[in-house]
Amino acid sequence: MSDSKPIDVAVLMGSPSDWDTMQHGRAMLDELGIPHVCRAISAPRQPGQRHAFNNDATDRGCKVFIGAAGGAAHLPGVLASSTDKPVLGVPMKGWSTAGVDALMSIAQMPGGVPVGCLAIGKAGAKNAAILAAQIVAVGNEDARNAVLAFRKAQSEKITELPS
């Protein structure tokens, strides 16, 4: 990574093709004011870069990792094997089973190396960001206030429909 600014959350996706979905997670982190970094690095295709990303994010103070991947979706599990920080996984819609393959892969980690698995696609991307902020908020009053403000605004939002 080129930057060395402190971060609370590191978002890693397996391919630039995951960005259409994961940009919704990034937008949520922005809205909550959580310092973060987003990168696309493939666990199976770019193992060295993936390892360097883990180390760099940890050096920058990362408290939670979000890993997004489709298909075999090894990335979140590989991230979890390289850190003691919480890892949240977001299954991407793939090319054959609409993301169910990735959902099963991310959810079915062997006992001892947990990954918290979110929903497939956009909802998972958004919720991973909120959940990461909630984890950060355990020891950070600013993050907690941002989450509470988001929840309040969400509750108060009433959509007017044409009658």
**44: which residues sit within 8 A by CB, 6+ positions away?**
72, 74
- Please tell me whether residue 42 binds ligand RP5 under the rule CB under 6 A: yes
Closest CB to ligand RP5 among residues 91, 116: 91
Please choose, from the candidates 77, 59, 60, 64, the residue with its C-alpha nearest in 3D space to the C-alpha of residue 32.
Answer: 64
> Which residue stretch of 12-20, 24-32, 114-122, 125-133 sits at the interface with ligand RP5 (rule: CB under 6 A)?
12-20
- Please tell me whether residue 77 binds ligand RP5 under the rule CB under 6 A: no
The distance of closest approach from Cβ of residue 73 to ligand RP5 in the complex, given in angstroms and rounded to an integer, is 7
- Please tell me whether residue 101 binds ligand RP5 under the rule CB under 6 A: no
- Please tell me whether residue 103 binds ligand RP5 under the rule CB under 6 A: no
CB 62 within 8 A of CB 90: no
Task: For residue 22, give both structure tokens.
Answer: 């994961």
Pick from 67, 71, 76, 116 the residue near ligand RP5 by CB under 6 A.
71
In whole angstroms, what is the distance from residue 133 CA to residue 64 CA? 9
What is the DSSP code string of 8-37? Answer: SEEEEES-GGGHHHHHHHHHHHHHHT--EE
- Please tell me whether residue 70 binds ligand RP5 under the rule CB under 6 A: yes
Pick from 10, 12, 78, 92 the residue near ligand RP5 by CB under 6 A.
92
Instruction: Centre a 10 Å sphere on the Cβ of residue 110 and count the other Cβ atoms it contains.
Output: 7
> Which residue stretch of 11-19, 82-90, 117-125, 134-142 sits at the interface with ligand RP5 (rule: CB under 6 A)?
11-19
